[in-house]
Amino acid sequence: MRVLIIKTSALGDVIHALPVLDYLHKASPGIVIDWVIEEGFKDVLEGNPLLNKLHVLSTRRWRKSPFTGQTRSEITTLWRELRSNRYDIVFDIQGNFKSGLIDLASGAKLKVGFPLKLQQEKINSFFTTKKVPLSASDDHASLRCLSVVSAPFERPYQDAEYSTDIAFSNHDSSEAAGLISELEAGPKVLFHCGTTWQTKFWTPENWSKLGTRVCLTFPGSVILFTWGNESEKTTANIIASHITGKTHLIKRLPLKTLAALFKHVDLVVGGDTGPVHLAAAVGTPTVSLYRSSDGSESGPRGKRHIIVQAPLPCTKCFKTSCPKDAECRESITVDAMFTGVSKLLAARSPS
């Protein structure tokens, strides 16, 4: 059986979909799986032994230069590659207009996708031939992806753990180990304070208070900082400067090296952001805070992961800006975050 998975973006969403690979191989031994992914997120999937091939989209570049010969050539080549593979089933777990066009391009007769209420763009329903109804137990993004790919098979997907690891090279592993070897022995807690929406941030003051409390409570601790852009780097430096204890700013790393680094730390703390989901994918415990988004729906799952949701009645609003932003940030207390951090650090394996 040859199948195509369409999950093009974003980082956290692609990571949530990773369990479908392990599920499909267990449900249909010998299955061949290809995946359509945006080029900015292909590192999550490259080298994965459960995948046969990646079809890479360059949507952002194509939109900037839609009429150039290169764009037309790349789109035509992609269309022909999709058609030539003669997929038995397409699983559309993106659910928007773009993924619908890929459904069409595949030429597959059976195109399985989300029900109307879960589609990012309702027009997607015109392109899929089978909509999988939502079960009450499908209360997380990963489970919803599994529900779609399980539809043609008899194997249940609930109450099981599936592999989500990220493949990285020996070079990535060596570089990450080298960065950690520069630090003194002791618990290593990594803070990733940046994220996308304004309504997903926490306050720099509370980050500093949390870092200080970790360092004072767990002797020998070092707080590591990762960042994705210059603004996040500046904020990380400000937070670190107000922490009483050891801190270390990590240089900006490629995604696979960052994944390797996460394997060497005891805990990753952050908001609703891709690096937190990446840490969870490679098996590192996480504590994450949620304000405008829903941690129960999109946060890391399992006993090694703790979600702190804003207690305001308007939490999970999914707004990208809000006049109550400051109040919402402060509603997540240092005590609440430290309780999670303390619990997971106390449970860590001795080094």
pLDDT tens-digit profile of 37-84?
999 999 999 999 999 999 999 999 999 999 999 999 999 999 999 999
| pLDDT given at position 129 | 98
What number is the average pLDDT over the span 246-269? 97
CA angle centred on 73, ends 72 and 77, rounded to 5°: 120
pLDDT reading at 208 higher than 70: yes
User: Residue 351: pLDDT above 80?
Assistant: no
pLDDT of residue 251: 96
Cβ within 8 Å of residue 57, ≥6 positions away: 8, 36, 37, 38, 39, 78, 98
pLDDT confidence of 4, banded at 50, 70, 90?
Answer: very high
Percent of the chain with pLDDT over 70: 99
Q: Cα separations (Å) of 205 from 18, 139, 208, 212, 235?
A: 35, 33, 5, 11, 11
Model confidence over 108-129: pLDDT tens digits? 999 999 999 999 999 999 999 9
Beta carbons within 8 Å of 64's beta carbon, 6+ residues apart = none
Domains contained in the chain, CATH given:
2-150 (3.40.50.2000), 170-346 (3.40.50.2000)
Model pLDDT for residues 232-254, shown as the tens digit of each residue: 999 999 999 999 999 999 999 99
pLDDT grade for 349, boundaries at 50, 70 and 90: low
